[in-house]
Structure 1
């Protein structure tokens, strides 16, 4: 693993020694989680300092130009002399040179002793880049922790970012939890020229909805693309694969067997709780592909032990509980000698595998009815004449219409926990007065309507590539693998696979309510029938179930929430109602909010002053 941090100093008073000293501190912080930090500095009127010691980092410095590229990218299809070749291309094409890079990467390029700076990350947001403009110049780093080690870094928390965390269970880019610090979004670059900073996109997904390629040809293209993506993702590393028993992880396990020519090493997590254990399907896939399969049943005690580690390793609050099983998978793999795991993330989004896609397609049919039928007949009947009748069919019809008349993408947030409770019921009044409650849905609207004119499924895919993947699932898996001590790659998110998905027709992704229509047809002779028919589950954590039964986990949660009350972010009476009433009513649903609040306090306790101080 590798990382980078840097400081472009435009303050003429900064001398070479002080800049290098500051970078050394940033690098030590980065090295807490990244084995091989890269530190870069450029001073106005001075020299350039660079230190690199990671195989996955390519660095070039000559004639006043410094470039560092890290990750596993190709430049115009070639991996040789990446930084040197990118430097030459950058001087000709500027920020658009980034479009010649493919694969997971982050890049930094400097010229004129820091007067020009370019930062960029890959198209899927596998890598991260944080930055902050200060009077003295620009700070940047592949982790927020590296920036925080710099004396000019902003350390005040952003209330809006915390509100966004409670809404999304993560802090979506471009915001970070620190006021004034930002993070690049997928396919985005930052340019800093002579004191002026701007961001832009070097790539956006372009759908070809009218393409009409025969199925046999599409299938051949898909299988070839999948094989090359897995082969390149595995590389020369000792590679294994997550195996949940779903279509994506099972497909990757089988393809890993094909490209390696040996039994793939696969890793699964189970839970001894009814309705949560998917180990049966993982075993079906493992037998089908002859895998060297490894299993672990995670307990409530394992979860309690992992919580502080995950919070301490997180750059900012992160509330996806699936990080725990992913972490224990990574631990198993490292113990087994594996250095890289393949994750199936991206398959649902690219090929139409999320249940909400089908649900929204059903709701969208209401909009296609004649307006007279809707507004003159159906709605007056159901909400007027028959509004007082409490019959199951009428309740179901009213619920359908209430959801269907909501505009997208707000309709996707019907079950959002913060909205369902009501921000005023959850948040302390003083905290609520400092935030914009409409900001999260505003972000979603901006992203969703970038694809105006596209089909519903492709607009939802665009939304999910940003919020479900880059800001959540990829971050979860990378965090878990970093803690577990292994690298991770995502074959479904290769640039070639992104382009292939964009060429599929909307019906190839969602045919009526049939999810993954093309994907399942293309793999019907490859995957076991039981896996093709199963519903999506993954590594869901039975946290709410354990919370009611395990004293150790209860103690950790109650201590965390007791401290959180003192911060005047969450209303104390809401925490009491959540723990003593709501969780008992529906452990799985309300347990999610308990986890989100607990992880907020766990992060705050390690990153800011203790509550009440």
Structure 2
């Protein structure tokens, strides 16, 4: 895992290219503490920078930026190509084997680029990556990102006058290091952030800076002089071809969904056997490393199945890691410990006090580099920090929920809507008001005896929070797709809280949620939710959260579920092999039960939660009050203070739990304070 940066400034530069790229690249040292490298072409005004975390080929033969053997390409690469040895074999079959200098996947990529070109090579890969590759012959800069967006890549226009450039980097902090960076905050992106608690691709928090969408290839010609080119005021969307800049998809999840719908696997035995085989192959590929390797283990379905398959293939106990909390209601460590004992892993537990967890908050603005408000970022960073003491690479169970139907909203949302759809809108709003009238604690009290009567694993965790969330969602919801958007939104109408935006839905398309759905394969509402989550929530929240939390301590994380062949199989499974009997991930459970007893796994889904809401009423109150001060909000000019202050008062009183929406404001305020 590494960090990359660079810029295309044009042939007239007002300052040293080498000094500039060195300064940008140095800001990414946490992503690659082992080595730094830069390459510049003064005649073109191009610079590439790279920080290396050595995982494969630890010798200087893996150093970047790297030149291809034939001299046509120069590459800065962040990620891993898991099948790079198979690609070398394929090159050998075609008689195109260069004189290999080492066994790095970077060298493999370059050889493939020379043989097959950029797009065909990307389609042959199994891996996670963001890349910047300069075509010396064509004078074209190519930027590409992996299929699901595991690795980040920002791009856009920075600087002014003769120093203006098209720049790109793994993180925004590298772009801010470009001389004369003065891009203002994007109000539209801020409004989207307040809705989703993350800044969704293709937006970034800054104007004229964007995230390259997963599965996309962006190309810019050196003939398109950045000094003369207008900065695009809106995010580029594929397909795009204008003024020497092209953007295209080299891989699309929608195509996978439609192909899967045409080749469904109806036989359950075949489906379970094939799933086990695909996952085992993915785990085996992703266990390749020249450095110590381990895995995160929460004791849930996804991480447990990854660890079980790792342990089956390993010759020694796998190193596994979990984090536990002093608050018993939030401590999942006993479940992880039980699974680890059963599988025989070398298990490490980090027990964290509230004070230790709260101490992480001060570093979050720097770590995430733009506003990011999934509070599980705190325990995620802590478990990454603990793992880094022993390993350099850790496998995770992320993406199992999106691919195999694990989130409660997939079965809870449709079940609720089926009972409400007949109601006229005024009646639904009245029902929402009635639900909201009972405090969160009251709903939790009602939920406990109900959960006790339900089979193991089918209860509702945090019933009070979910009841109040439903109450807020019932206002203005017209159909199940509206309900989904509402369920993934915190501030339902961002224009009511963010100054200077046009309206509730903002500019269309505001996010990838507005894109046209595949023509086939998402007819059931649950599949539509899973598809949309895979496009948005997975890369923008889950994968971003893990990448920044891990890279802050120079830990590489890998996600076997996102081997694209596993994803393709997931979309070949009928819905009832994902959600059955009011429970998600049916097929995954059948595989897991071959390795881990059912009783160690079956329990209500809890997530990676911490008691942030309680902390805001207690030890974090003064910190939050300072950031939410009414006069401060007015002076800064980004928010209308009234709705924020109202929610803050309700939260402090205990009448409502506004943790998520307040955390979004606090994380923006804390980020703004650091700018």
**TM-score of the two chains, using structure 1 as the length reference:** 0.85
* CA deviation map 1:102-160 (0-9, x unaligned): 21112222124783111101112111111114685521111111111112545211111
CA drift at 1:84 = 5.0
CA drift at 1:528 = 2.4
Among 153, 166, 191, the alignment partner of 2:219 is 191
CA drift at 1:606 = 1.1
Give the 3 Å change call, closer, same or farther, for CA 113–450 of structure 1 in structure 2: same
CA drift at 1:289 = 1.2
Among 371, 374, 392, the alignment partner of 1:317 is 371
Contact 2:151/2:547, CA 8 A, preserved across alignment: no
How many aligned residue pairs are there? 582
Counterpart-to-counterpart distance in 2, 1:479 and 1:381: 42
Could you tell me which residue of structure 1 aligns to residue 556 of structure 2?
487
Counterpart-to-counterpart distance in 1, 2:215 and 2:246: 14
Counterpart-to-counterpart distance in 2, 1:525 and 1:565: 59
Among 574, 597, 604, the alignment partner of 2:672 is 604
Could you tell me which residue of structure 2 aligns to residue 18 of structure 1?
16
Could you tell me which residue of structure 2 aligns to residue 595 of structure 1?
663
2:256 counterpart of 1:202: no
Counterpart-to-counterpart distance in 2, 1:148 and 1:381: 48
Could you tell me which residue of structure 1 aligns to residue 345 of structure 2?
291
For the residue of structure 2 that corresponds to 1:295, the secondary structure is: strand
2:243 counterpart of 1:235: no
Could you tell me which residue of structure 2 aligns to residue 77 of structure 1?
86
Give the 3 Å change call, closer, same or farther, for CA 97–547 of structure 1 in structure 2: same
Counterpart-to-counterpart distance in 2, 1:348 and 1:381: 31
Among 71, 81, 91, the alignment partner of 1:63 is 71
Q: Which moved further from structure 2: 553-562 or 92-101?
A: 92-101
For the residue of structure 1 that corresponds to 2:185, the secondary structure is: coil
Counterpart-to-counterpart distance in 2, 1:436 and 1:560: 25
Could you tell me which residue of structure 2 aligns to residue 610 of structure 1?
none
Give the 3 Å change call, closer, same or farther, for CA 298–558 of structure 1 in structure 2: farther
2:645 counterpart of 1:557: no
2:517 counterpart of 1:462: no
Contact 1:455/1:506, CA 8 A, preserved across alignment: no
* CA deviation map 1:575-610 (0-9, x unaligned): 3322322343356x3122222221111111112xxx
Contact 2:22/2:49, CA 8 A, preserved across alignment: no
For the residue of structure 1 that corresponds to 2:667, the secondary structure is: helix
Q: Which moved further from structure 2: 136-145 or 437-446?
A: 437-446
Contact 2:128/2:151, CA 8 A, preserved across alignment: yes
2:276 counterpart of 1:226: no
For the residue of structure 2 that corresponds to 1:25, the secondary structure is: helix
For the residue of structure 1 that corresponds to 2:371, the secondary structure is: coil
Contact 1:165/1:317, CA 8 A, preserved across alignment: yes
Correspondences of 1:342-381 after superposition (within 5 Å): 342-362=395-415, 379=423
Contact 1:240/1:342, CA 8 A, preserved across alignment: yes
Q: What stretches of structure 1 of length at least 5 have no aligned partner? A: 368-373, 608-613
Contact 2:497/2:643, CA 8 A, preserved across alignment: yes
CA drift at 1:89 = 4.6
Q: Which moved further from structure 2: 249-258 or 200-209?
A: 249-258
Q: Which moved further from structure 2: 165-174 or 499-508?
A: 499-508
CA drift at 1:542 = 0.9
Contact 1:20/1:49, CA 8 A, preserved across alignment: no
Among 105, 118, 142, the alignment partner of 1:118 is 142
CA drift at 1:538 = 2.6
Could you tell me which residue of structure 1 aligns to residue 596 of structure 2?
527
CA drift at 1:27 = 1.4
For the residue of structure 2 that corresponds to 1:558, the secondary structure is: helix
Give the 3 Å change call, closer, same or farther, for CA 218–18 of structure 1 in structure 2: same
Contact 2:133/2:143, CA 8 A, preserved across alignment: yes
Could you tell me which residue of structure 1 aligns to residue 26 of structure 2?
28
Contact 1:44/1:113, CA 8 A, preserved across alignment: no
Could you tell me which residue of structure 2 aligns to residue 339 of structure 1?
392
Contact 2:18/2:47, CA 8 A, preserved across alignment: no
Contact 1:350/1:501, CA 8 A, preserved across alignment: yes
Give the 3 Å change call, closer, same or farther, for CA 343–451 of structure 1 in structure 2: farther
Among 200, 205, 214, the alignment partner of 1:177 is 205
Contact 2:292/2:391, CA 8 A, preserved across alignment: yes
Q: Which moved further from structure 2: 553-562 or 320-329?
A: 553-562
Could you tell me which residue of structure 2 aligns to residue 248 of structure 1?
302
Q: Which moved further from structure 2: 285-294 or 557-566?
A: 557-566
For the residue of structure 2 that corresponds to 1:577, the secondary structure is: helix
Give the 3 Å change call, closer, same or farther, for CA 48–561 of structure 1 in structure 2: closer
CA drift at 1:362 = 2.6
Could you tell me which residue of structure 2 aligns to residue 106 of structure 1?
130
CA drift at 1:408 = 4.7
The structure that is helix-richer by fraction is 1
